[in-house]
Amino acid sequence: MRILLVSDLHYSLPQFDWVVGAAPSFDLVVLAGDHLDISSPVSLDAQTVVIRQYFSLIRDATQVAVSSGNHDLTGPDGHGEQSALWLDLAREAGIPTDGDSLLIADTLITICPWWDGPAGRDALQARLASASADRPARWIWVYHWPPLGSPTCWTGRRDYGDTELGGWIDAYRPDLVLAGHVHEPPFKPAGSWNDRIGDTWIFNPGHQIGPVPTHIEIDLAAGSAVWRSLLGEEQLQMSDKAPPPRTVF
C-alpha cells in the first residue's frame, strides 16, 4: 500500500489542487488536520463547504482519511468541548474522518480527533485501548499533534508536542503515527520529519508556502518513507532501528 501524508494545508487551495492531482498514484491519502485557516478573511462556514468538496474529489480518486486539527474546531460538542462539527457532514458524504477506522487488507487506520478537554481525551484513550485488543498485522494512527519530546515537534526554540500521545504509543504500540500541527521541525537541524519511539514510526511532513505542500510518501510493501519539500528530499527504511542522519542541511 502506498500512502500520501499531508497536513496543515490551511485553506491553501493550490495545495489542495496538488493533492487532488496526486491522489490517483496512491492507495490512501491522509490529511492529518488543519484543513481550515482561522486567520483567513474567508469565513469558516465558507471554508468548510469548499474543503468538503476537495475531500470528495480525493475520495473519488482513491481512499482517504481525514482527521481534525486545532484550526478545524467550529463549536462545542455535547460535553461543551470544542470540536470540528463540520466533519460530520463530510462523514455523511462518505469521507472517513474523526472517530472512524479503515481496514485496508491487513492494515487498520484509526482516525483520531483533535481533543479539547478531558471528555475528548478519555474517549480517545478508551477507543485506542479497545482497538488494541484485536489489532491486525499493522496499525496506523492519524493524529494531528506529534508527541512531546520528539524531534517531530521541535519548533527550533522549544518542544511543542502532545503530552498524552507518548504514553499511548508506549501502551498500545502502533506501527505508524501520521501527524502534523507543528510546521517547523523538518526545516530545523535539531528537528525532523520522522522519529522512532520503540517500534513506532512518527511522521510529520511540516508546512511550506507555494502550490506544492510538504508531503511524505510511504510505501508499506517496500518499507520506505520519503519526505519531499522545497529543500529537496530525504528517505528512510522503516526496518531501521533508528532514524537516519539528516541530509538536507
Q: With pLDDT > 90 as the criterion, what percentage of the chain qualifies?
A: 96
Tell me what the mean pLDDT of segment 219-238 comes to.
96
Q: pTM score, two decimals?
A: 0.97
Which pLDDT value is given to residue 242? 86
Q: In what order do the strands lie in the sheet with 107-111?
A: 101-104, 107-111, 138-142, 176-178, 200-203, 194-197
Which pLDDT value is given to residue 41? 95
Which pLDDT value is given to residue 105? 92
Which pLDDT value is given to residue 55? 98
Which pLDDT value is given to residue 89? 96
Per the listing, cell 512518527 goes with: 202
What domains sit in the chain, N to C, each tagged with a CATH number? 2-237 (3.60.21.10)
Mean pLDDT of the chain: 96
Q: What is the pLDDT of residues 131-157, one digit of tens each?
A: 999 899 999 999 999 999 999 999 999
Q: What is the pLDDT of residues 195-214, one digit of tens each?
A: 999 999 999 999 999 999 99
| pLDDT exceeds 90 at position 241 | no
Tell me what the mean pLDDT of segment 161-188 comes to.
97
| pLDDT exceeds 70 at position 249 | no
Centre a 10 Å sphere on the Cβ of residue 95 and count the other Cβ atoms it contains. Answer: 19
